[in-house]
Structure formats: C-alpha cells, structure tokens
Structure 1
Amino acid sequence: MLSASAFPDLFLTALSVSVPTFGWVVLGMVLRRAGVLSPGFIDAVSRIAFNVGLPLMLFISAAGIDFSGLGGATYLLAGAIATVITLAASWAYGRWRNFPRPALGVFVQAAFRSNLAIIGFALCHAAYGEQGLMLAALPVALMTALYNVLAVWVLQVTHGGSRSLLGIVRGIIVNPLLIGIFAGVCVAVSGLPLPAVSADIGWGLSQFFLPVMLACIGGAMRLNIVYTAGAVTWEATAWRLCVAPVLGMLVAVAMGIDGAQLGVLFLLLSSPVAAASFVMVVAARGDGTLAANIIVLTTLLSIVTVTLGFAALVLAGLAAVPV
C-alpha cells in the first residue's frame, strides 16, 4: 500500500486516464451545441463505428491475447458474478423502495449495465495501453452477452411482452462487437500469426474510432436533465457509479484479483450506463425518457467517480499504476 501523501500524485495520474476519455464527450457536447454535429451525422458515424470500426479494433486486440499470461479466467468470472449480484441487490432495493414496476426494470438495468464496450474500453486503453485493450477484450465479450440476456429478462418481467429464447440468442450471435472478439480469440487460440502491421492498424483504429464514438455520445446528450431528474434517476445513478463498482471490487478482491486485471475490471464496471439500455427499454415500450436521463446523468458524473475510485485502488496497492 502506498502512503496517503501519494494520493495527490495518484489523483493526477487517475485524471490522466479519465480526462482524455471524458474530454471527448465534453467536446461532443460543445460541437453539438455549436451546430457542428448534427443528429444525422452522429447517427451515421455511430453506426459505422459500431458495425465496422469497433469490431475490427476488438478483433485485433483479441487476436493478440496471450492466454498463458492471463492468469486464468478468474477476473472474467468475477465480472460476471459481480453483474449478477448487482442485478439481484438492485432488484431488492427497488422493491423495497416501491418503485413502479416499469420504473423498476429501467432502474435495475441501469444498475448492472455499464458502457464497457465504448467508454470502459477507452478507459482501459488510456490506463494500460495495448495491455489494457487485451485484458478488456474478453470481459467485454462475456459481459456484453450477459448484459443482453439479463436485460431482456428484466424488461420482460417488469414490462410484460415476450421474446423467444431463439430471438435472444440470435441478437447475441449477430452483435458486431462479439463477432469481432470471437474471431480474434479464434486466431489467438489457433496460434496463427497476424501480420506485424496489424498492431499499427489496431492502434490507428483506437486513435480514431474511440474518440469519435465518445464525441458522438456527448453530442447526443442533453444537459437539462441535471435540473429535472427525479428520485429514480438519481438513485439509479448512485447504483451505477458507486454501488455496482464497490460490489464488483469486493467480489474481485475476495477472488484474489489484483494489478492490471483489477484495474481493468474496475474501469469496465464503473463506466456509465450503456446507450443500448435506452434502445432496449424503448423496444419494450418502457419509459424511454427515464432511461435516457439516467444515461446522461451517469455519463456526466462518472468522470468524478471513476477518477476517485481508480486513484483509491492504486493508492491501496490493489490496482496497477497506469502506464
């Protein structure tokens, strides 16, 4: 454990991880307000990045994974366990608070579902470089699939309606991010070498698509939510940014995870609510406004919670110091 006097330096180091990531979100907000980013442009770029850019980047990162150096799959299992625990705990809390059933579904999904594929992935890259991307690739794949399954179940139970198991499985199988990661893992397991230029391509993609996606997230945000958010919005924000990461770290530490793996797991689990949660709520004919408000508020406040939490983990000697 480092001394408390080292906290200011570690805080600045943690800021060097969060500011470059969330700075692009702020820039997107400014450009949208200035009329530079139009809704049509944001939608088009987001679709290109989601269907092409990010899958390619995840493929190259996953293809470079050295499975012998991962120290087993413990940190992957910890992320999955933490997600299920967060779902169960937030459900119990929402029932205790007597949230209306539709609001309960939105609240629970927000509590356990982080934006790990974009903001979380960008944070891992900012903290640990190429090692961060490699360590994050498998958790992103596993937890994205888990998020989709759990979200469908939660929204079915709280909003009614039906969706077949086949439909859920198909939605997971055709997810471009999962396809990219799965293909990369197959290459890594097969032992087939990628051309040396692939690392440069992966780096170039990360330098382009991650900032673009972050700026698009900022461009789609509306700040008036800060003044109009209700109790459910604020409580869901507290669960996503504070309670869920704490539960995740308790599980991870109890399972003996530390170093860069713990740092990556924290950055993934502490990210704001995923934009996909809004899409799923609207598809279930739920309260889309509530879902959107939670996304905006968690994104705005996560720069503070992520920075403080990451600095505290490094100070305690649990997470590796950023490179």
Structure 2
Amino acid sequence: MTGFWQAVVFAVEVLLPSVLMMLLGWFLGRTRQIDQQFSAQASKLVFNYGLPLLLFTNLYGNDIQYQQQAVLLTAGIVSTLILFLGAELYAMRFVPDIRDKGVFVQGVFRSNMGIMGLAFVQNAYGNAGLAAGAVYLGVVTIFFNILAVITLSRSATATMGQKLKTVGKKILTNPLIVAIVLALTLQQLKVEVPEVLLATAGHIGHISLPLALICAGATFNVRGIRFSDLALHASIGRLVVAPVVAILTGLTFGLTGIPLGVIFLMTATPVAAASYVMARAMGGNEVMAANIIGITTLGALLPAAAGIVLLRSLGWM
C-alpha cells in the first residue's frame, strides 16, 4: 500500500468513528428514541462530569513532556491570535452590523475542541495524544473565552470590567479546566489516587465522548440552517483558513508528529457550541451564530480529511 493510501486509511480511522456516532444520534433523534430534553441533560452531564474525568485520568496517568507542551501551547495561542486579528480586520471592512461583527470573528477562531477535537485526537493517537490534547484544551479554552469577551463586547451593555469578571468566574469554575489543573497538580506533588477511584473515573470518562457525539447528532437540524453570506464566510474561515493557519504556525514552531497532529485536529473542527451561548448572552446576533455552528458541523469532515491525508502523506503527523 502506497503512502497516499495509508494516509487515506488513517484519515478514515480518525474521522469515521465520530461520524458514525453522530449519525447514530441523528437516527435516534429522528426515530424519537431520544429527544431534545434527553440530549440537553446528557450533554450537561458529559460537560460537568464525563469529560472532566476523562481528562483527569489521562493527564494523571501519563508522563507530560512540559517542554514539548510549552511549544505546542505557544503555537496554539499564536495561531488563535492570528485568526482573531485576521477576522477582526475582515469584520472591520466587510461586516457592517455591529451585532454581526463579534459573532463573525468568534465563528472563525473558536473551534470545538472539547468534543470533536478530543474525539479526533483520541482516534488518531490514543491516550498519548489525549493527554497532550487535554493540556492544549485547558490553556487555549481560557484564551478563547478572553478573546470572545473582547470581540463581543461591542454589542453588550455591561462594562469591560464586568465582562472580564464574568469570564474570569466562568474560567475558574469550568469543570474541564478544574479537572486539568487538579490532575497536573496531583501528578507534580506525587499524590497517590486510589486505583479504585481512577478505575471508576476512567469508566465514566470513556462514555463521555461517544455520548456527547450521539447527543450532537440527535440535536443537529439541517433544515434550520440559513446559508447567509456572512455565515458562509465565517464558516470558510473556520473550516479552511483556520486549519491552514494552524499547520503553518505549528511548522514555524518546529512541530511534527503528535504535537502537529494535535494542533491541526483541535483546529479542524466546527465552531464550538459555546459561541452561540456567549453571542446570545452578550447581545450578538445569535441566529447567525447558530447558522455558523450548523454550517461548520455539516462541512467539517471534508477539509479535516484532506488535511489528515496531506499531513500523513508528508509524514508530519
């Protein structure tokens, strides 16, 4: 088998499990075996308990290469900042409505790392990749929230201080970030966590990503998507421009192998569902935010697959 076809097989192995789980969720929703209320409650449980336990067990049980992680995190922050500034410049020139500007910018830079990104990384690299992805998720999520407050603040009535205070509280109480900090702290202090607790946490954590993907598929509504020009432009930025920027930034920082794979896979995802929540809370155009989520969810797999095949063929991930 040639290198190209090996890369194609690898791309299928990375993406297909997530696609199938979302399709299962869509089927269960269409046949009314699960409903919107179940999906909402299950997603809440995944966010508050399942994903935090998954991240905790993988970080606590793996040897973290902090020097390598520092380079990966720096590349991730720089890549995000490039996307943010580029989207701001585009919005300044081509997005006239103030309620649309922040929503457009957030749609470009904010990826769905917590569910789709982690699922892709786990499928590609197993627990070793998941540990690297967990640290990346924790740090870059904080950066996402700060940038979202900045770009959406023009359409909100509260002062910048009040907005930063709100986002600071959300960061400090975010279950994913709390779990990551706790795992790294216990690991560094060499605190022994009883095996029975780790095993229980592992069992709960292992169901979190499949359940989250099933719920995402169950709540996905193609008919509700409206393909406006701005939503399409933001979606192109998220699905095409963002992964290219992530790859180029990673290569500039000398990343290859798992680290480059992590920064690419964490970026080559739809826009995060949290973008809708923040847009609505801060006076942005929540309808446009929902449309960007729908379009990017529908269109994410093709550019992600193309990127995986390219990077794998070149031996870079």
Q: Could you say which TM-score interval applies, normalised by the shorter chain?
A: over 0.9
- SS at the partner of 1:66? coil
After superposition, the C-alpha distances for 1:136-167 in whole angstroms (9 at most, x for unaligned) are: 11110001111111111111024453334322
Q: Equivalents in 1 of 2:246, 2:179: separation in Å?
A: 26
After superposition, the C-alpha distances for 1:15-60 in whole angstroms (9 at most, x for unaligned) are: 1101101221222122111112211111111111111111111111
Are residues 1:39 and 2:12 paired? no
Q: Equivalents in 2 of 1:40, 1:71: separation in Å?
A: 42
Aligned partners of 1:29 and 1:218 also within 8 Å: yes
What is the correspondence of 1:116-265 to structure 2 with a 5 Å cutoff?
Answer: 116-162=113-159, 163-196=162-195, 200-201=199-200, 203-225=202-224, 228-265=226-263
| Structure 1 residue 64: Cα displacement | 2.3
Letter of the 1:265 counterpart: I
Are residues 1:296 and 2:291 paired? no
Aligned partners of 2:57 and 2:202 also within 8 Å: no
Determine the structure 2 residue equivalent to 1:312.
310
Letter of the 1:94 counterpart: A
| Structure 1 residue 306: Cα displacement | 1.1
| Structure 1 residue 318: Cα displacement | 1.3
Q: Equivalents in 2 of 1:197, 1:62: separation in Å?
A: 17
Determine the structure 1 residue equivalent to 2:51.
54
Aligned partners of 2:64 and 2:132 also within 8 Å: no
What is the correspondence of 1:266-281 to structure 2 with a 5 Å cutoff?
Answer: 266-281=264-279
Aligned partners of 1:111 and 1:239 also within 8 Å: yes
Q: Equivalents in 1 of 2:269, 2:149: separation in Å?
A: 21
Q: Please identify, of 5-14 and 157-166, the stretch whose mean Cα deviation from structure 2 is larger.
A: 157-166
Distance 1:164 1:105, change over 3 A: closer
- SS at the partner of 2:158? coil
- SS at the partner of 2:263? helix
Q: Determine what percentage of the aligned residue pairs are the same residue.
A: 32
Q: Equivalents in 2 of 1:221, 1:195: separation in Å?
A: 40
Letter of the 1:43 counterpart: A
Aligned partners of 1:66 and 1:188 also within 8 Å: no
Q: Equivalents in 2 of 1:72, 1:271: separation in Å?
A: 21
Aligned partners of 1:110 and 1:294 also within 8 Å: yes
Q: Equivalents in 2 of 1:102, 1:197: separation in Å?
A: 50
Letter of the 1:166 counterpart: K
Determine the structure 2 residue equivalent to 1:66.
63
Letter of the 2:78 counterpart: I
Distance 1:316 1:201, change over 3 A: farther
Q: Please identify, of 186-195 and 135-144, the stretch whose mean Cα deviation from structure 2 is larger.
A: 186-195
Unaligned runs of 5+ in 2: none
Determine the structure 1 residue equivalent to 2:18.
21
Letter of the 1:288 counterpart: E
Aligned partners of 2:54 and 2:206 also within 8 Å: no
Are residues 1:90 and 2:59 paired? no
Structure-2-length-normalised TM-score: 0.93
Q: Please identify, of 162-171 and 79-88, the stretch whose mean Cα deviation from structure 2 is larger.
A: 162-171
Q: Please identify, of 196-205 and 64-73, the stretch whose mean Cα deviation from structure 2 is larger.
A: 196-205
- In the alignment of these two chains, the number of paired residues is 315
Q: Please identify, of 162-171 and 146-155, the stretch whose mean Cα deviation from structure 2 is larger.
A: 162-171
Structure-1-length-normalised TM-score: 0.92
Aligned partners of 1:245 and 1:270 also within 8 Å: yes
| Structure 1 residue 116: Cα displacement | 0.3
